[in-house]
Amino acid sequence: MDQDLHTLLSSVRDDAPPPRLSVDDITAAGRHLARRRRVALLSSISGGTAATIAAVAAAVVLVAGPSAPLTAAGDRNPLASPSAIPVATAFADTAPFVTNYRGYTAGDYLVSDPDLVTQAYQQSSIDIGFSVPDGAEPSATAPGAGAGDAPSSPSRAADLLRGGILVVYRPGAFDPRDFEKSGEKVLVHSAVGLLSYAGGPTEPTVSQSDLLKLQKVQPAVPTLAWQYTDDAWAAIYWSSWETVPDRDTLLAIAEGLAPAAVRQFPVGFVPGPLPRGYQLLSVSYGTDVSPGSRVRSAVRLTPKPPALPLFAPYDFNNLPVLTLSMGRPDPNPTKPGHLDCPDSSSCTRVADDGSTYVKADLSGVKPASNVQISQITLAMKPENPDILSAWPSALKTFP
């Protein structure tokens, strides 16, 4: 059933009664719609070109595209100066690792509840494949996610086609200068946004010839930044050219961002003693560490936090981090209850009953006497991975 976008977004903002549509319903409908879209896309590409594009697309995260609009902008008029436009101030200025918005829908796109928080921003996954059956109401969160400090399960529905990420920066944490260089001014609610087609937080890694072939058949990949409240910016970074929305849909995704009650972000384990000088950098439900469902909770600590303001989200691969994680082990683990350390920078321990595992990894940091990975892993105490409402908050666990 065609449903007015304003009504959909309002129902999410106003904390409507519990939805009649579960994540299972969302996922089933999503699989169907995603299959239709993939078939339509692939059928439009000839055989030889399709093989080339598939190989190239696997290597591309965000691809630089031409600065041309995706579709007509309708009546959206860019304004002369961002500073001339008053912006809403309803968002609470929260401390790091605390969230102040919730997930929502925009057409076929589903924006999850924040699934990663850092010192500088909150982040949500954007997926496509969300379709609402006639008479049903959309739900952007998982079953059982209440109004308390922690949801009962991660909010991202499984098996949807990945689109991009929404990054909501804290006040003063983001500098939009890269967008100002080449961005086109667009209107997002009552504020000026900057729409760019120059890629995103990462650069293409394919050869120039392959990049040119890819650009011939793909749409431009957009990034969009806008000031959602005083001195605070949000941005949408796309990660798959197969799911790029048209211009108006991208703006609708941005306009769906709305304030919500603040919530403490939870962590699925309690650590033991940690190395001196390491500070909390990020907390997540683990999809940023592993794309599958094995990791349930992950924390990164760093001896050297990046300076603010940021110009893009953190590139964790290029930061010195100690990553602690908890999740479900592979079926029939070989060494339950035993510590497994293949080298001096990684250790894993599976619980005696084989139900959970904890892991510690060093990246970009040389092992030292004050960072004993084996001892850190042995001291970690996992929570029940299926009852997030019982997990402690990150701020209390890592003061």
Q: How far is 284 from 265, CA to CA, in rounded Å?
A: 8
Is the per-residue pLDDT at 50 higher than 70? Answer: no
Residues 248 and 275 in one domain: no
pLDDT of residue 160: 65
Amino acid at 152: S
Residues 133 and 158 in one domain: yes
**Strand ranges (E), the chain:** 98-101, 104-106, 109-111, 116-118, 121-128, 161-169, 184-188, 191-196, 223-229, 232-238, 259-264, 269-270, 279-284, 295-302, 321-327, 339-343, 346-350, 357-363, 381-382
The average pLDDT across 68-82 equals 37
Domain region containing 204 = 5-264
Q: Which residues contact 46 (CB under 8 A, 6 or more apart)?
A: none
pLDDT for residue 281: 97
Q: What is the structure's pLDDT at 11?
A: 41
Closest CA to 329 of 274, 292, 367: 292
Paired strand residues for 130: none
Q: What pLDDT is recorded for position 209?
A: 67
Nearest CA among 96, 99, 173 for reference residue 399: 96
Kindly state the average pLDDT of the residues 240-256. Answer: 88
In a shared domain, residues 258 and 365: no
Nearest by Cα to 253 from 106, 85, 89, 60: 106
Residues 276 and 296 in one domain: yes
17 pLDDT more than 80? no
Give residue 307's Cα distance to chain centre.
21
pLDDT band at 210 (very low <50, low <70, confident <90, very high): low
d(CA 132, CA 152): 23
Answer for the pair 166, 111: CB distance below 8 angstroms, yes or no. Answer: yes
- Residue of higher predicted confidence among 383 and 9: 383
**Which of 149, 142, 146 minimizes the C-alpha distance to 100?**
149
Best CA proximity match to 157, nearest among 103, 112, 207: 112
pLDDT at 245 over 90: no
Specify whether 245 is located in the same domain as 389. Answer: no
3-state secondary structure of 180: helix
Number of domain units in the chain: 2
Joined tokens for residue 183: 């961005």
- Mean pLDDT value of segment 97-108: 93
**For 89-127, b where at least 16 C-beta lie within 10 A, e where not — what string?**
eebeebebbbbbbbbbbbbbbbbbbbbbbbbbbbbbbbb
Q: Are residues 212 and 340 in the same domain?
A: no
> Cβ-count burial of 398 within 10 angstroms (0-12 exposed, 13-18 middle, 19+ buried)?
buried
Interatomic CA distance for residues 272 and 392, integer angstroms:
14
Assign 314 to helix, strand or coil.
coil
217, 245, 264 — which closes off a domain?
Answer: 264
Looking at the predicted structure, is the pLDDT value of residue 80 above 70?
Answer: no
**Numbers of helices and strands, H then E, in the chain:** 8, 19
pLDDT (average), residues 42-70: 35
Which of 229, 264, 299 represents a domain boundary (last residue)?
264
Q: Coil, helix or strand for 153? A: coil
293 and 238 within one domain:
no
- Do 393 and 311 share a structural domain? yes
pTM for the whole structure: 0.71
**Structure confidence at residue 239 (pLDDT):** 77
DSSP secondary structure, 11-28, as one string: HHHTTPSPPS--HHHHHH
Q: What is the pLDDT of residues 184-208, one digit of tens each?
A: 999 998 888 999 885 433 334 456 6
* 53 and 182, same domain (yes or no): yes
Strand, coil or helix: 112: coil
Task: Tell me the two tokens of residue 51.
Answer: 């093989």
258 and 275 co-located in one domain:
no
Average pLDDT of the chain to the nearest whole number: 74
Least confident of 117-131, 189-203, 244-258: 189-203
Q: Residue 316: its pLDDT value, please?
A: 94
Whole-angstrom distance, CA of residue 368 vs CA of residue 322: 12
**Residue of higher predicted confidence among 257 and 222:** 257
For the chain, how big is the Rg over CA atoms in Å? 22
Q: Which of 222, 242, 264 is the last residue of a domain?
A: 264
In this structure, what token pair is assigned to residue 338?
A: 């035993």
**pLDDT greater at residue 209 or residue 106:** 106
Q: Which pair of structure tokens corresponds to residue 318?
A: 């290029």
pLDDT of residue 152: 42
What are the pLDDT digits (tens) for 311-339? 999 999 999 999 999 999 888 777 888 99
* DSSP-derived secondary structure letter, 393: B
75 and 211 both lie in a single domain: yes
Overall average pLDDT of the 64-93 stretch? 44
Here the tokens at position 74 are 């309708």
Report the 10 Å Cβ neighbour count for 184: 18
Say if residue 16 is in the same domain as residue 106.
yes
